[in-house]
Amino acid sequence: MPIDPAVAIGAELGSVDFSWTESDVLLYHLALGATDLSYTLETAGLQVLPSFGVVAPTFHASDPPPLDLPGCDINLAQVVHGSQSISVAGPVPPSGSATVTTRISEIWDKGKAAVIWQEGTATTPSGERLWTTRSSIFVRGEGGWGGDRGSAEPVEPPDRTPDADTTYDVWPQQALLYRLCGDRNPLHADPEFAKAAGFPAPILHGLCTYGIVLRTLTDELLGGDAATVAGFGVKFAGVVFPGETIRVRGWREGDRVVGSAAVAGGERDGAPVLGDVVLTLA
């Protein structure tokens, strides 16, 4: 069968050595629309949004990532990014080097689809953990072998007025800039490719939206202090087109912030973008 859980689950996907500089961090923040000097000027005590750790290992890549997973014979056209999270051991340094080791941690059988989870841990050359990422891909048409369906409790926003309610206007050219952060998929730039994939126009990278929402919640509810973020997780619930507006709402709940993100205005007003948004505090 296309997916063999006995082979896939627990399979090591190898280790990758990588490094990053302040210039990479500055570009990443600018691609998210950050304007505060704490994000964009190295002499002002440059801080790093934890979401940078998700893209740092592939920041200088120019080719689409391979989908060569042990025990998984799947078609890239059947795959969508399902969810993404990161937990950090402390503030991400503005420059450094590390090794990330990744494995397939779980596979869920959803009947008409499979959900493949990967977990990667980045460590310093001396072996100290910097951060751990978890991500899932949703593979249409590859379920039904009778495996574990998995468990995921939806995160519902509190039934009260949000502590933050703001909007972010996505630039028409924002996806073109974010491509320089390591994701050159033509879906985000080439109109003809996007139409062939079923979209009326190129869409914004999901991980760009991920970073925009983290930055917005950090600025609105945490005084713009990225060092107070211990983790950030979301489920990808929809797409954003460059030129649209994202409405971001956040609720402080003890040691975390629960959020939501949806399209604001236009014909797609209210269309969900991110769900199960949780920012955990250090």
Of 50, 49, 30, 32, nearest in space to 40 by CA: 30
Q: What angle do CA 226, 227, 229 make, to 5 degrees?
A: 70
Choose, from 24, 188, 205, 276, the residue flagged as catalytic: 188
Q: Is 29 a catalytic residue?
A: no
Q: Do strands 229-236 and 164-169 pair parallel, antiparallel, or not at all (unpaired)?
A: unpaired
User: Of the residues 24, 183, 219, 276, which is catalytic?
Assistant: 183
Q: Are 245 and 263 in contact (CB under 8 A)?
A: yes
Q: Round to whole Å and give the CA distance between 264 and 89.
A: 34
Helix (H) or strand (E) holding 264: strand 256-264
109 token code pair: 């059988």
| Edge-to-edge strand ranges of the sheet holding 245-253 | 12-20, 96-109, 113-123, 129-140, 79-88, 229-236, 272-281, 256-264, 245-253, 164-169
Question: Measuring CA to CA, which residue among 77, 57, 54 is closest to residue 67?
Answer: 77
188 in catalytic set:
yes
How many C-beta atoms lie closer than 10 Å to residue 65's C-beta? 11
Catalytic residues: 183, 188
